[in-house]
Amino acid sequence: MQTAESIGEMYRDAWSRFATGVTVITTIEPDGAVHGMTASSVTSVSLAPPLVLVVIGEERQSHGLIKSAGRFGISILDSGQTEIAKHFATPPEIRGDIDPKHIDTIENIPVIANAIATMFCNVSAAHKAGDHTVFIGEVKAIEVGEGDPLVWFQRQFGVFADQNSSKQSD
């Protein structure tokens, strides 16, 4: 019989093996400053209407900001944007300011410049789940760019490897 403690450890370990893309969820602080948070718990939910979900820890600053603003941006990062992902994964008290050249806007919501896709969402529902909240966002605008995705796997950033091209080079 597994204990709650061992399940807690194995939960992290098991989910670290689930490779994901990397996004930055952006909002605006009350004083107008851009706020961002690196997030991998992001999923498409519905096509009609276009809904996404983001899962945000209750202690994150982004949690309160999204709740009060009722909207957020999503930027799907490019493989060359590891430093941006690290920046927005660092606690906000110590991360410093992001160079404004990395910020763009979509419908007046800040997003990450040169991301491979960006979107703007209005919060349509929020469900508390354990120590996180699942925010459902209705997508109101999308821009799709070029590039390869940044990947998060076993607590490391990496790039996508195409199986067919690696087979050809074997």
Ligand X SMILES: Cc1cc2nc3c(=O)[nH]c(=O)nc-3n(C[C@H](O)[C@H](O)[C@H](O)COP(=O)(O)O)c2cc1C
Q: Which amino acid is at 82?
A: T
Q: Residue 55 or residue 113: which is nearer to ligand X going by CB?
A: 55
Q: Residue 60 or residue 140: which is nearer to ligand X going by CB?
A: 60
- Binding positions for ligand X, rule: CB under 6 A: 22, 37-41, 55-57, 60-62, 89-92, 152
Distance CA 128, CA 166 (A): 42
Least distance from C-beta 143 to ligand X, angstroms? 22
Q: Residue 53 or residue 113: which is nearer to ligand X going by CB?
A: 53
Distance CA 46, CA 30 (A): 30
Cβ 66 vs Cβ 74: under 8 Å:
no
Least distance from C-beta 42 to ligand X, angstroms? 6
Distance CA 22, CA 26 (A): 13
Least distance from C-beta 161 to ligand X, angstroms? 18
